[in-house]
Chains A and B, each alone.
Chain A
Amino acid sequence: METAKLDRPVYLDCAASTPVKPVVIDAMMPYLTEHFGNPSGAHRMARSSRAAIDDAREICAALLGFGPHEIVFTSGGTESDNLAIHGVCSTTGVAVCPETEHHAVLHPVESHNGRLIKVASDGDVDLEHLKTLLDGDVSVLSVMLVNNESGRIIDLEPIAELRDRYAPQALLHTDAVQAINWLDIVDVGRRADMMSFSGHKFGAPKGIGVLAVRNQVALVPQLLGGGQEAERRSGTHNTAGIVALGAALQSLEKSRKSEIDRLGTLNERLACGLVAAIPGCFTTIPQSKRAAGILQIVIEGIESEALLVLLEREGIMASAAASCASGAMDPSHVLAAMGMDRTLAAGSLRLSLGWCTEDWEIEHAVEVVPGCVEQLRGKS
């Protein structure tokens, strides 16, 4: 397919994945080459790997608001979410989450006598409904901090209060995979018993993640074997990935505040530009309630699956709802839960920004997206 001539693609899909930061590559490379020893071993080369993991664990603990023993390295967000839900929920236990959760939470919850919390049309959790779902049977309540499709920010505090009051035995888990870039995790996660993170959303490579677990939580391991991660997650450590995750977190910590300002401004410019230029286009979540890096818009009278093809031709990489196993776009369960008509929801588009996003990419998108929409609307 012929594509527009640009120096590089306009990458507006950072909520899907980000490139690895150069500083992270520098940090991890020695652990792919010189220090390749298995950290569980007994010799010097094993110990050098082990030391790097212990360093990274302390960095993660400090920056995420947990103790070093509360950090469990996993393969990524999906594994962390599954470990959190399956690890604390027996076969008779009940798991609860909003209808808008990522499938990595939604499906495990559904497998544990799941109860789904309704959400309002603005994506916020329906607290009145949550109240009716909480009782002595609930083992775990999982609510994500930032929705991966809509960018909606959820305040955990009132949710934690309801948990304390109506299901004090229940553990509170939060999928913070998107939130890490956009919120002060130590502050917003202080009420959470477990938090999931994924390295490739913030400049580390794919295949590394964290489940942060408070000491008092009895976590049943889902992978049995060599007993790594204090018997909570067996499997040879991904040393380079763990080092990368630590380095990416440090880098993020240094730049988070300024990046939130920079990317929040670009997000607003993108939203205003598109809404102004495209008739029948609106944002699903207002600026004040969405994460700085995620913009979801809905465009009437088009199918986003077709729009994505045209955008790619113009050099713009973006996304709609979640992809299914085949790579096709599934209708958005998030917008459906927010009460949006299916036909309208089929025209949703997610543009997401990250550390690699530059101003000209936003300008290019504002310039090009309206024409693509017009092309789709113009011919029937």
Chain B
Amino acid sequence: MSRVLVAMSGGVDSAVSAALMKEQGHDVTGVTLKLWGGPQDQGCCSVSDVDDARRVAQQLEIDHFVFNYGEEFDQHVVGPYVKAHAAGLTPNPCIECNRHIKFDALVSRAKKLGFDVVATGHHARIIKTDKGLRLARGLDESKDQSYVLYMLTAQDLSMLEFPVGEMTKSEVRALARRQGLRSATKPDSQDVCFITASEGRARFLSDRLDLHTADIVDLEGNEIGTIDAVELVTIGQRRGLNLGGNSDRTYAVQVDVPSRRVVAGSAQDLLSEDVQLTDHVWVDEPHIGPVQVQISAHGNQASACLTSDGNVHWVDARRKVAPGQAVVFYCDDLVIGGATAT
């Protein structure tokens, strides 16, 4: 029997994770993280989500705590999110939350409190290989979350469990229904937890940084339009460029915040053979050679080669990756590392 701390978001996946750990005979404690004090829809940490998590813990007859990581969340997730937009990058706050809050602050506290294992409701698997523990895609391909967990090293994995990683989402819901858990039919959380649907990203950011209008130019540098907030433009974006005429086929291919300039071009102009990367994390050691690469949370993987300088070279040219996005490398189902596009 291990002493297990289950991070319970209030959703069905973590509820079932707690139920499974209990069923396996472990000494299970639930914890919900209070991360964001501002307005929010359902996400990871609203008061109603805490209520749901607590109720599930009561149903499972396990202890439940709420840890306040509001300041850490501001410092490591919200602040950098705003800063990244100011620099024209496209950040992924869920990854930063995993990196700094769930799998750093929380895991380190769990160790101090004498827990042997931290379990979460992520759809991913931890697999024993000849070379040690590896993170693998979740069994349910449509729900796989290994992309947002790429920062976990083999050493990190030794203290983690993802109990629903071997299940499909419908199996998870069925189990929750059988046990009568409150969150059995709760919809999956969507989008960034600290941005509400009613206010939106633009309003959230405009409250926290100055947004600037920018010129839209074509590849030759001819001015073809303007846009309200250059900080909100993502490479590959088509909507909102307000170009009229043929705008359906015009994409942002380059965003230059300091010069207040967005370069627009065709789908062809958006193609690139390489992705420049920084801030690599490897599950144990750097890798060179053929890999499968995923560039967004719900995107497909594509074949590429990792170069000796740590960049991605696509087998077939693909759309540019927005700077700031996570790029994750796989061999078969196994995550071997990841990095941030520059």
Contact = CB atoms under 8 A, between A and B. Distances in A.
Interface in A293-352: 303, 305-306, 309-310, 312, 324-331, 342
A120 to B, nearest CB: 26
A330 B70 CA distance: 9
B67 A2 contact: no
Given A306-B113, A326-B50, A375-B112, A2 B27 contact: yes
Interface residues of B, number: 23
Given A326-B50, A329-B68, A379 B34 contact: no
Contact of B66 (A306, A328, A379, A380): A328
- What does DSSP make chain A's interface, helix, strand, loop or mixed? loop
B68 A330 contact: yes
Contact of B27 (A1, A306, A326, A329): A1
A325 B27 contact: no
A153 B318 CA distance: 69
Contacts, number: 50
Given A2-B27, A305-B68, A309-B65, A324 B111 contact: no
A326 B32 contact: yes
B63 A328 contact: no
B47 A325 contact: yes
A376 interface: yes
A224 B113 CA distance: 50
Contacts of A309: 65, 113
A321 B112 CA distance: 21
Contacts of B3: 2
A1 B29 contact: yes
Contacts of B27: 1-2
Interface in B58-98: 62-63, 65-68, 70-71
Contact of A1 (B50, B63, B66): B63
A327 B70 CA distance: 13
Contacts of B54: 327
Interface string B18-50: 000000000101001010000000000101001
A1 B5 CA distance: 10
A198 B27 CA distance: 38
Among B65, B68, B70, B71, the one with the most A-chain Cβ atoms within 10 Å of its Cβ is B68
Contact of B47 (A303, A305, A326): A326
Interface in B247-263: none
A329 B32 CA distance: 12
Contacts of A303: 109
A305 B70 CA distance: 13
A305 B113 contact: no
A327 B50 contact: yes
Nearest to A380: B108
Contacts of A1: 27, 29, 62-63
A306 B32 contact: no
A331 to B, nearest CB: 7
A331 B34 CA distance: 12
Given A305-B67, A375-B114, A328 B34 contact: yes
A117 to B, nearest CB: 25
Contacts of A375: 112, 114
B68 A328 contact: yes
A375 B115 CA distance: 12
A380 B62 CA distance: 26
A379 B133 CA distance: 24
Contacts of B70: 328
A206 to B, nearest CB: 19
A324 B68 CA distance: 9
Interface in A204-249: none
Interface string B110-144: 01111000000000000000000000000000000
Given A1-B27, A2-B27, A325-B47, A379 B112 contact: yes
A326 B113 contact: no
Nearest to B1: A2
A326 B29 contact: no
Contacts of B112: 306, 375-376, 378-380
A314 to B, nearest CB: 12
Contacts of B29: 1
Contact of A328 (B67, B108, B113): B67
A76 B66 CA distance: 26
Contacts of A328: 34, 50, 66-68, 70
A326 B34 contact: yes
Nearest to A1: B63
Contacts of A329: 68
Contacts of A342: 71
Contacts of A310: 113-114
A329 B70 CA distance: 10
A348 B169 CA distance: 42
Contacts of A380: 108, 112
B66 A327 contact: yes
18 contacts: A1-B62, A1-B63, A2-B3, A2-B27, A305-B65, A306-B112, A310-B114, A312-B63, A324-B68, A326-B45, A326-B47, A326-B66, A327-B54, A328-B50, A342-B71, A375-B114, A376-B113, A380-B112
Given A306-B113, A327-B50, 11 more contacts: A1-B29, A2-B27, A305-B67, A324-B34, A326-B32, A326-B66, A327-B54, A328-B67, A329-B68, A375-B112, A379-B112
The 5 closest A-B pairs by CB, nearest first: A328-B68, A328-B34, A328-B66, A327-B66, A326-B50
